[in-house]
Amino acid sequence: MFVLNACQIMFPSEDLTETLRTLQAEIAYLDIPQVVLLTHVDKVCHAVQEDVTFVYSIRILQEKLQKAAEVVVLPVSYVLPTSEFASVCHRSTVMLLSHSDLWKVSLEYISRPCTVVLATITAALYYLWGREGQTPVLVCSDAFRVFLQRHCPVVAERFSPTPWCWGGRLQTLVRVLIKSSPQVDYRNELIRTADGGQISLDWVDNGASAAYPECYSRPTVLILPGLTGNSRQTYVLHAVSQATRRGYRCVVFNNRGFGGEELLTPLTFCAADTSDLERVVLHVRELFPQAPLLGTGVSLGGMLLLNYLARKGSEAGLVAGLTMSVSWDTLESCASLEQPINRLIFNRHLASSLCRAINRHRKMLETVVDVDHVLKARTIREFDERYTSVMFGYKSCLDYYQEASPNYKLPRTTVPILCLNAADDPFSPKHALPVALAKRLPNVALLVTSHGGHIGYLEGLYPRGEGYMDRLFGQFIQAAFDHPGDLKGACSIKEDLLD
């Protein structure tokens, strides 16, 4: 059966009357009461209006369509020659439907069980076929690759995202809504900074560790959350769970103003200012000088960690670094987040969260910035123009973005670094990833998955538990702590650089 939309068909002017008379004869022969012409009738049948009766009977149409074996919908402005139209009339039942009727018919056929089953099978086959292209791409030196494949096998495993959650935006959003929160009991510590401020650290000492019963030698993992994150974020809790089950100690570095503590000075944080991180690393090293220390950063936390490693070089005091979902080029990341959909879903939400934090510390911050002006920011770029660049003394927002971007600073790093990014991360576009640098730097490995979004990496039908990112974290920190000599050798790093 052919279903045609009257307002979408353009008939040739010649033989119009004869064509419609043929159509009427066919409809009478096929026991269809009347032709249904509901839209733009005057444009189609003006020459034979006296010969055509227009009747609307959706019930009759539905009955006829239920008996049909096939429905064909012609596209908009489809030109049907008179000869072909007449041929169709002799072969098939022809109905001319309005726009609303066409949608009703389409929905009826889409909702049929056979259609649903076929669509499900097609989607499943596409998903399974697509898995062939979902092995992560590992960009690094040959020696680093051998080390990772031997001690961190997850880098060579296929990452198959949750079937109903493929896209980067969905992965990013669903992770926030569905990811579980492992039970973690922190011990909080406040340390003072040189400017009179304070930093909130959340510790998990893991005193019951069987692998490392001695406190002084127990490996420590330093975790840096994202832009508006703290120690209670689900990805932080899962990281702590991965580390403690392996016997390690954890400490979460909460950015100023986001760990529940009060601001003692009119200063918060930014991705380019590593002074607070330097203070934290020094503090941890003083407490446990014989315990190896590894740093891991997520999103902005990863940017901060990379900038710190580049600034400190061989004096970083870390055995290795691990970053997830880093924005390598801040300007490119802002441009991506300002695309219409990303602006609506992510940009405005993050800007609002930052503004709430500023408003919470209004009394302290209004001495150095125009808080009311800052609170009117609707995007991250506007926030950085009105607050971050002013607070940290940059001439413009662009100057701050250039200083905050870690991609240009990778050559100044010396410790082994593994960096995880997704090609569909709306916060970090694929073209901005430092692939060329990772190819020539012996101590940097870039692992790129085809899916995963921003801090998503959800897999399985109901992805509440640990995901790909969590498993990578657990395997890499264990590889770094268990095989430090192999790691240094693979990255061509002298022994004295990391001691």
Q: What is the pLDDT of residue 111?
A: 62
Active site residue 217: no
Torsions phi, psi for 224 (to 5 deg): -115, 110
Would the pLDDT of 90 be above 90? Answer: no
Looking at residues 227-247, what average pLDDT do you find?
Answer: 96
Residue 442, classified by CB atoms within 10 Å of its CB into exposed (0-12), middle (13-18) or buried (19+), is: middle
Q: Which of 202, 238, 454, 470 is catalytic?
A: 454
Same domain, 197 and 75: no
If asked whether residues 417 and 280 sit together in one domain, one would say: yes
* Nearest CA among 224, 220, 243, 221 for reference residue 233: 224
Look at residue 219 and tell me whether its pLDDT is greater than 80: yes
Task: Note whether residue 455 is domain-resident.
Answer: yes
- Name 484's Cβ contacts closer than 8 Å, sequence gap at least 6: 292, 319, 498
Look at residues 481, 334, 418 and name the one whose alpha carbon lies nearest to residue 136: 418
pLDDT bucket at 166, cuts 50 / 70 / 90: confident
Tokens of residue 487, six digits: 């790691």
Q: Are residues 447 and 338 in the same domain?
A: no
What value does the mean pLDDT take over residues 274-283?
98
Per-residue confidence (pLDDT) for residue 8, from 0 to 100? 34
pLDDT of residue 127: 53
- Model pLDDT, residue 259: 83
pLDDT of residue 41: 35
User: Does position 27 have pLDDT exceeding 60, yes or no?
Assistant: no
Read off the pLDDT of residues 255-270 as tens digits, 9 standing for 90 and up.
998 888 899 999 999 9
429 and 338 both lie in a single domain = no
Residues 205 and 297 occupy one common structural domain? yes
**Residue 129 is assigned to a structural domain of this protein:** no
Residue type (1 letter), 125: L
- Considering the domain architecture, whether residues 310 and 384 belong to the same structural domain is answered as no
Asked if residue 413 and residue 394 are part of one domain, the reply reads no
Question: Do 170 and 295 lie in a common domain?
Answer: yes
Same domain, 162 and 268: yes
Task: Tell whether the model's pLDDT for residue 99 goes beyond 70.
Answer: no
Active-site residue identified among 299, 325, 333, 405: 299
Over the stretch 337-363, which tens digit does the pLDDT of each residue have? 999 999 999 999 999 999 999 999 999
Structure tokens at 43: 């444009």
Spatial contact of 117 and 46, defined as CB atoms under 8 Å apart: no
pLDDT tens digits, 406-434: 999 999 999 999 999 999 999 999 999 99
> Is 425 annotated in the active site?
yes
Domain boundary among 347, 376, 403: 403
Q: Look up residue 211 and give its two tokens.
A: 């692998």
271/405 Cα distance (integer angstroms): 8
**Is the pLDDT reported for residue 315 higher than 60?**
yes
Average predicted confidence (pLDDT) for the chain:
82
Residues 340, 346, 352, 357, CA torsion sign: negative
Of the pLDDT bands very low, low, confident and very high (cuts 50, 70, 90), residue 120 is low
Q: Are residues 64 and 201 in the same domain?
A: no
Work out the number of other CB atoms within 10 angstroms of the CB of residue 321: 26
Dihedral (Cα; 302, 303, 305, 307), 10-degree rounding: 160
pLDDT (mean) for 294-317: 98
Range of the domain at 153: 136-329+405-497
Residue pair 172/424 in contact by the 8 Å Cβ criterion: no
The reply to whether 120 falls in a domain is: no
Is 228 domain-assigned? yes
For the four alpha carbons of 356, 362, 364 and 367, in that order, the dihedral sign comes to: positive
* pLDDT at 34 (0 to 100): 39
Do the beta carbons of residue 318 and residue 281 sit within 8 Å?
yes
Compare 96 and 246 and report the one with higher pLDDT.
246
Residue at 105 is within a domain: yes
Same domain for 399 and 413? Answer: no
**Percent of residues, the chain, with pLDDT higher than 70:** 72
Q: What is the CATH number of the domain that holds 437?
A: 3.40.50.1820
How high is the pLDDT of residue 492?
79
> What is the DSSP secondary-structure string of 149-163?
HHH-GGGGS---B-T
Q: Total domain count for the chain?
A: 3
* pLDDT at res. 193: 95
Last residue of a domain, one of 352, 387, 403: 403
* Residue 484 domain-assigned (yes or no): yes
Six-digit token string for 118: 């076929």
| Residue 345 included in any domain | yes
Which of the residues 98, 425, 450, 470 is marked catalytic? Answer: 425
395 lies in the same domain as 422: no
